[in-house]
Structure 1
Amino acid sequence: MIKVGIVGGTGYTGVELLRLLAQHPQVALQAITSRSEAGMPVAQMFPNLRGRVNLTFTEPSVDNLSQCDVVFFATPNGVAMKQVPELLAKGVKVIDLAADFRLKNPVDWQQWYGMPHACEDILAEAVYGLPEVNREAIKKARLVANPGCYPTAVQLGFLPLLKAGLVDANSLIADAKSGVSGAGRKAEVHTLLCEAGDSFKAYGVAGHRHLPEIKQGLQHIGGQAVGLTFVPHLLPMIRGIHATLYARLTQDVSDLQALYEQTYANESFVDVLPAGSHPETRSVRGANVCRIAVHRPQGGDTVVILSVIDNLVKGAAGQAVQNMNIMFGLAEDTGLMHIALLP
């Protein structure tokens, strides 16, 4: 059994981790930390876990967490990088669901997150945890940087085109929408029901924190710098991401559908839908899967890719568990074969 600890277990990502790990056949939950809720039974805060998780929240302690085989950080940006070095030194593997280890350049980190990086030496060894791209490196990793939700949907959508060198990498467009849970479990006016309900808006048009992460990942996939216009939107729903992606072909391609199907033929958690499909966010709710459809309107030189994920599962906790499975030599789909919830 893999002994697991979670730092920061009171947010939406934390409870999603708990839901998945409590059902994982090779996991023993050892510790769930929260400074603000220490002493509270986990099931008191999250009643869906009654009878499945009997732990109480505890203060984060390296001594306690060092008894684990792997520790997940589901904390605000800037927390993990201050604690990870000590855990790694004690032989504990780490999967960080925040952004602390996603950007390879510490200058970029400081620019987008407003603080200096606390452990640049360890930053260099962190593996970006997009399994469809970095599976072999993840197998050997001590530290995995779990991708963001928007970056997961966007990179998986563009990957086949960039890998094959078929599109103009300087003119990519990602028009993406997310449910309100993507903002986290905290009290902020813009996520209140009366503010977000019955409304729809773009945000972060001048620059969103996920932009450098997406560009870094796409550059790695295609082997060249990319030009990307990324516009996120807030949808009046709880969970889900829909990314509509645009790219301009630089050479004629006879069968884009076959390209996508072949690229993802052996991927358990990427589902290429039949030609002409329009994936819905509800088709991935609660499931660790990205569903993709590729279109070429009127046979022109513009490709439109539709990519949907559950931002809390394939976009966060589910992908983190997928990475854990890879790191510990388990079948990648262990504990993750949940069917999406309908309606």
Structure 2
Amino acid sequence: MSRKTIGIVGARGHTGAELIRLIANHPSLALAFVSSRELAGQRLADHNDVYKGELTYVNLDPAGVAAEAADVVVLALPNGKAAPYVEAIDKAGGDTVIVDLSADYRFDERWFYGLPELYRDRWRGEKRISNPGCYATAIQASIAPIKDLLAAPPVSFGVSGYSGAGTTPSDRNDPEKLRDNLMPYSLTGHMHEKEASRHLGLPVEFMPHVAPHFRGLTVTTNLYLAKPAKREEIANRFANRYQGEKLIHVVDEAPWVSHIASQHHLDVGGFTMSADGRRVVVVATLDNLLKGAATQAMQNVNRALGFDELTAIPV
């Protein structure tokens, strides 16, 4: 069987690098192009220790990306930058699958929202897939199994490594400013708050922070229950909901972010109950560059091309 081709726009970033590593180990995918304005002309193998070959970075405009006619195009661009590429690919026709890693299409009903473990039953063979946000993935995984038991909007406290702030210099990815620090930002109205609320179908309150570590995030969610419950009941809800899901691990103790770095799955657990049984605290951790971005994108690429969802993903 001939290999399918895949191209990445915005390949210089952290997520692009992780996706290239996954593609390099995929038996049925070949990189068609890697587009980066800053690295154009440089060998990909000089920047990524897993990739073996002579492919060089190119700087393709939207028309150039469309002209490549790859089977899949992954857009790993900042928010607000995807539309010209989508329009050019649409105009060119063909059967190209687009996976967008930004927030640009997470609220668009024409696009499939690609969080497989929660919304796999909604899949209708779409060619336009919006990859969920890293925090939004952890928040939804923490709430979905018991959302019908809730008495009030869940409140999530998030802490992420600074790789989540991307490669463009800012206070939130400056190791010196983050040293011995915890930096709050966007404490109301964060994009992932809106995203999780939309797809769960209930209001979620979210307060994100950046910490000095590089990768991995933690979301601690406080949930008030309409009726008293026992810890076993809550834990069983999560175990049953994620039974058979290789990339969501339900754990008894509250997971640590240091254990999830460079891992492809999400850990969720803790299930700490108040004395009256009306409040439970759930903790989720994931690697924001992997299950929060590149790994989830690979799940979606595999699904769209008809491969096993976990192809090339270590489990």
Work out whether the TM-score is over 0.5.
Answer: yes
Aligned to 1:258, the other structure's residue is in SS state helix
Contact 2:115 2:132 in 1 (8 A): yes
* Matching residue within 95, 103, 106 for 2:99: 95
Contact 2:172 2:210 in 1 (8 A): no
Q: Distance in 1 between matches of 2:142 and 2:29?
A: 31
What is the Cα deviation at residue 157 of structure 1? Answer: 0.7
Percent identical across equivalent pairs?
A: 31
Q: Distance in 1 between matches of 2:177 and 2:149?
A: 42
Q: What's the counterpart of residue 208 of structure 1?
A: 190
Contact 2:167 2:173 in 1 (8 A): no
* Matching residue within 14, 17, 22 for 1:15: 17
Q: Kindly tell me: are residues 90 and 5 of structure 1, through their superposed partners in 2, closer, same or farther at Cα, counting changes over 3 Å?
A: same
Aligned letter for 1:203?
A: Y
Q: Number of aligned pairs? A: 306
Q: What's the counterpart of residue 58 of structure 1?
A: 58
More displaced, 329-338 or 143-152? 329-338
What is the Cα deviation at residue 24 of structure 1? Answer: 1.4
* Matching residue within 118, 131, 145 for 2:116: 131
Q: What's the counterpart of residue 253 of structure 1?
A: 229
What is the Cα deviation at residue 101 of structure 1? Answer: 0.4
Q: Tell me, yes or no, if structure 1 residue 297 matches structure 2 residue 264.
A: no
Aligned to 1:156, the other structure's residue is in SS state helix
Q: What's the counterpart of residue 155 of structure 2?
A: 173
What is the Cα deviation at residue 229 of structure 1? Answer: 1.9
* Matching residue within 299, 310, 315 for 1:333: 310
Q: What's the counterpart of residue 127 of structure 2?
A: 142
* 1:67-97 deviation per Cα after TM superposition (whole angstroms, max 9, x unaligned): 3100100011122111113314232110000
What is the Cα deviation at residue 54 of structure 1? Answer: 3.2
Q: Distance in 1 between matches of 2:240 and 2:188?
A: 36
Aligned to 2:197, the other structure's residue is in SS state helix
What is the Cα deviation at residue 194 of structure 1? Answer: 1.2
Q: TM-score, normalised by structure 2?
A: 0.92
What is the Cα deviation at residue 15 of structure 1? Answer: 0.6
Contact 2:188 2:205 in 1 (8 A): no
What is the Cα deviation at residue 190 of structure 1? Answer: 4.0
Q: Distance in 1 between matches of 2:180 and 2:168?
A: 20
Q: Kindly tell me: are residues 180 and 57 of structure 1, through their superposed partners in 2, closer, same or farther at Cα, counting changes over 3 Å?
A: same
Runs of 4+ with deviation above 6 angstroms: none
Aligned letter for 2:32?
A: Q
Please tell me the root mean square deviation across aligned C-alpha atoms, in Å. 1.7
Aligned letter for 2:216?
A: G
What is the Cα deviation at residue 280 of structure 1? Answer: 1.1
Contact 2:17 2:48 in 1 (8 A): no
Q: Distance in 2 between matches of 1:87 and 1:257?
A: 45
Q: Kindly tell me: are residues 53 and 13 of structure 1, through their superposed partners in 2, closer, same or farther at Cα, counting changes over 3 Å?
A: farther
* 1:82-140 deviation per Cα after TM superposition (whole angstroms, max 9, x unaligned): 11133142321100001110123xxxxxxxxxxxxxxxxxxx41111111122244450
What is the Cα deviation at residue 58 of structure 1? Answer: 0.8
Contact 1:139 1:326 in 2 (8 A): no
More displaced, 327-336 or 296-305? 296-305
Q: What's the counterpart of residue 118 of structure 1?
A: none
Q: What's the counterpart of residue 6 of structure 2?
A: 4
Q: What's the counterpart of residue 26 of structure 1?
A: 28
